[in-house]
């Protein structure tokens, strides 16, 4: 039996004024899955995520269907989408630099606190277990963290809200390879918590390695899709995104 996908997008188009940046996109994220959308700079990756979250700039206009847990949510404002368990970690991490790591994490649970959840901080220890470095630096100002630690904090803060759908916009951006490895290892481990993850990446190799399913976005079009392991074997993906074209087999 097929369960209802956490996210199912169809015919999603986004325009900025007269320019259409995303053409009729269709993607699906199943419960507990990690699904990635890979593609070069300017392909429309952030546009896709922001449209799903309801976080497009005022000049952006989306049409099409966005179903979350089987319900159309495309008309809901961003707060209502967040309240239903959708969470976006944007490309700009938007941390509070002068606040401590711990206070940034606590802020991630603000919505749950306001909703009257008594145990709104129950994810703090799990987040610290997932990111021991954040625990070590809990009293340190967020602005003093390294790039990788900031990314960890951004993901940790998102998890404080106990989302059902976690959307990550290029978590590897600007990070050294070893840190990317560490962060992707953690994203992969999140699978066990049951959260569904939609991962947007230029780093195709790292993304496909931990994903169940993948899509390739090229200038606003979803050009290819398939199980991540198959996509990683696709000659076109290898040549364009994995950079192995000249390597002998």
Ligand X SMILES: Nc1ncnc2c1ncn2[C@@H]1O[C@H](COP(=O)(O)OP(=O)(O)O)[C@@H](O)[C@H]1O
Chain residues in the site for ligand X (CB under 6 A): 16, 21, 39, 41-47, 57, 59-60
Cα distance between residue 100 and residue 138, in whole Å: 6
Provide, rounded to whole angstroms, the least separation between the CB of residue 125 and ligand X: 34
Which of ligand X, Mg ion, none has residue 192 at its interface (CB below 5 to 8 Å by kind)?
A: none
Please identify, using beta-carbon distances, which residue of 78 and 106 lies nearer to Mg ion: 78
Provide, rounded to whole angstroms, the least separation between the CB of residue 173 and Mg ion: 8
Q: How large is the C-alpha radius of gyration of the chain?
A: 18
Which of Mg ion, ligand X, none has residue 197 at its interface (CB below 5 to 8 Å by kind)?
A: none
Query: What is the full DSSP assignment across 6-21?
Result: SEEEEEEEEEETTEEE
* Burial group, residue 1, by CB count within 10 angstroms (0-12, 13-18, 19+): exposed
Query: Helices 177-189 and 147-160, interaxial angle, to 10°?
Result: 10
Please identify, using beta-carbon distances, which residue of 130 and 168 lies nearer to ligand X: 168
Please identify, using beta-carbon distances, which residue of 23 and 191 lies nearer to ligand X: 23
- Residue among 7, 41, 19, 36 at smallest CA distance from 174: 41
* Burial group, residue 39, by CB count within 10 angstroms (0-12, 13-18, 19+): buried
Chain residue at closest Cβ approach to Mg ion? 46
Please identify, using beta-carbon distances, which residue of 168 and 228 lies nearer to Mg ion: 168
Stretch that binds Mg ion, among 43-51, 57-65, 106-114, 237-245 (CB under 5 A): 43-51
Contact 163, 29 (CB under 8 A): no
Provide, rounded to whole angstroms, the least separation between the CB of residue 118 and Mg ion: 38
Q: Is 46 in the site for Mg ion (CB under 5 A)?
A: yes
Footprint of Mg ion (CB under 5 A) = 45-46
């Amino acid at each position: 039996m097929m369960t209802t996908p956490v996210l199912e997008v169809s015919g999603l188009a986004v325009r900025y004024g007269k320019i259409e940046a995303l053409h009729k996109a269709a993607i699906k994220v199943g419960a507990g899955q990690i699904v990635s959308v890979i593609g070069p700079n300017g392909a429309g990756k952030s546009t896709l995520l922001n449209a799903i979250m309801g976080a497009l700039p005022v000049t952006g206009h989306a049409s099409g269907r966005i179903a979350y847990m089987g319900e159309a949510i495309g008309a809901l404002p961003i707060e209502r989408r967040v309240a239903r368990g959708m969470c976006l970690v944007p490309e700009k991490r938007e941390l509070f630099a002068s606040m401590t790591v711990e206070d940034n994490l606590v802020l991630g649970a603000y919505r749950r606190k306001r909703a009257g959840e008594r145990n709104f901080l129950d994810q703090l220890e799990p987040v610290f277990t997932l990111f021991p470095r954040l625990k070590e630096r809990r009293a340190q100002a967020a602005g003093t963290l390294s790039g990788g630690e900031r990314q960890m904090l951004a993901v940790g803060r998102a998890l404080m809200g106990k989302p059902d759908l976690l959307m990550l916009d290029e978590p590897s951006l600007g990070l050294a390879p070893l840190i990317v490895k560490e962060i992707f290892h953690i994203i992969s481990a999140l699978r066990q918590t049951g959260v569904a993850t939609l991962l947007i990446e230029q780093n195709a190799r790292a993304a496909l390695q931990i994903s169940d399913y993948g899509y390739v976005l090229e200038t606003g079009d979803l050009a290819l899709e398939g199980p991540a392991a198959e996509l990683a074997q696709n000659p076109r993906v290898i040549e364009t995104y994995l950079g192995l074209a000249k390597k002998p087999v």
